[in-house]
Amino acid sequence: MVDGQSTTPFDVIVAGGGPAGLAAAVSASRAGARTLVIERHGFMGGMSTAALVNPWMTFHDRTGEQVIHGIAQEVVDRLMALGASPGHLRDTIGFVHSLTPFEPDSLRILADAMLRESGCSVLHHGQVFRVERRDRRVTGLAVLTPGGERMFRSSTVVDATGDATVCYLAGLPMQSDVTGRNTQPMTMCFRMAGVDWSPIERYMVENPTEFHPGTMIGHRPITGVSGFFSIWAQAGLPIPRDRLLFFAGPRPGQVYVNTSRIQGRDGTDPQDLSEAEAEGRRQVACLVRFLRDRVPGFADSKLDALPAQVGVRETRRVVGDYTLAVEDVMQGVRFEDAIARSAYPVDIHSPSGAGLTLSESPKEPYDIPYRCLIPQGMENLLVAGRCISASHEGHASTRLTPTCFAMGEAAGAAAARSARSGRPVGESGPTGAGS
């Protein structure tokens, strides 16, 4: 039994308040829909705030043309106005054209403001644990809160949980190409303070082969470093990586380290997640000692921040009306029902080895079709973020934060159109009758 009375139905409920969910909630609410966003943490931002995944990559294609705008760019502009981001900078590692550092705490505050301004209702500390479904429609979300179980109902639902939780609990099929403990590894990012960039820059100039090919040696400001190959190999750390990877934060001396690797864990299994959290912190402690003892520029640095949770790259992905394939990404395929564009490479962290499979950036930006956001057979349910309908390799490009913002914005707008018109979500996209 659900404890408490059901609320008055909303037009749109968004499950999950990460970048995709935040954008979906703001978009739907701005479109006039009575919207509720449900988030399990006490703050919005998902991996960007809870897991300290920083910077955002990338808003641009490899020629420098910006391909992601909308709410994503609004967030950057407003963070810049707060002095909490320098905006888009060149990626000196050479992975992509640009990256965008930001202050996670400022993003939390900004997210609250954007939701409040849009008129969106917010429920923190809520976890969807059961889904009521009647044929092709979700009819209710049972949410576990500190005050007990609550039932929420709406005309349309956006699953932005990252794990496709709503879809899974509704009994919908998931992609089966790569699953469970064979998905991309998790990472516990962390922040160091008091880093001196001058010794790092000198070492890079003197030892250019010790870094990722394509690194912009001598470019200022240095925004990221991938390498220190010999120093890393000589240390023999019990971490299955082949390099050190870190990025400059928005404040002087700040560095966000993205080097830990936690393999063989299923991000939807509570025991695996518990073990991953502890293993991630063990690796962080090991990395902090390594940085201070061996890496130029880190001798006087200190651990400045640990995340609230481990960073999860990949779990469940829905089976949608279209599944984005790696060929679509690499060939820059355009779709009539496009709702977002991206130019990020196919970026796969080895599930079992120390390496990284990173393709070249797509020759042209590719489209993400609206059909990838529609779970097969459903009339009032959309997905946004890393759980959209994509292959393992396709997901390795779409999972990045700017793209998630763009998908969420499109999903929220479509959900609002569907709720307003009473039409199925399949008829409420960019080319549907409800557009």
CA distance 190 to 112: 24
Q: Length of the chain, please?
A: 435
| CATH numbers and ranges of domains, the chain | 10-47+103-179+315-341+367-427 (3.50.50.60), 185-305 (no CATH)
State which H helix or E strand residue 29 sits in.
helix 19-30
> 400 is written with which tokens?
């990045």
pLDDT tens for the chain, residues 1 to 435: 334 455 679 999 999 999 999 999 999 999 999 999 999 999 999 999 999 999 999 999 999 999 999 999 999 999 999 999 999 999 999 999 999 999 999 999 999 999 999 999 999 999 999 999 999 999 999 999 999 999 999 999 999 999 999 999 999 999 988 777 888 899 999 999 999 999 999 999 999 999 999 999 988 899 999 999 999 999 999 999 999 999 999 999 999 999 999 999 999 999 999 999 999 999 999 999 999 999 999 999 999 999 999 999 999 999 999 999 999 999 999 999 999 999 999 988 767 666 666 666 777 899 999 999 999 999 999 999 999 999 999 999 999 999 999 999 999 999 999 999 999 999 998 854 333
Query: Residue 65: phi, psi to the nearest 5?
Result: -75, 130
The answer to whether the CB of 329 falls within 8 A of the CB of 346 is yes
Q: Any idea what DSSP says for residue 426?
A: G
One DSSP character per residue, 336-387 reads TTEEEEE----EEE-SSSS-EEEPPPPSS-EEEEGGGGSBTT-SSEEE-STT
pTM: 0.95
Q: Any idea what DSSP says for residue 6?
A: P
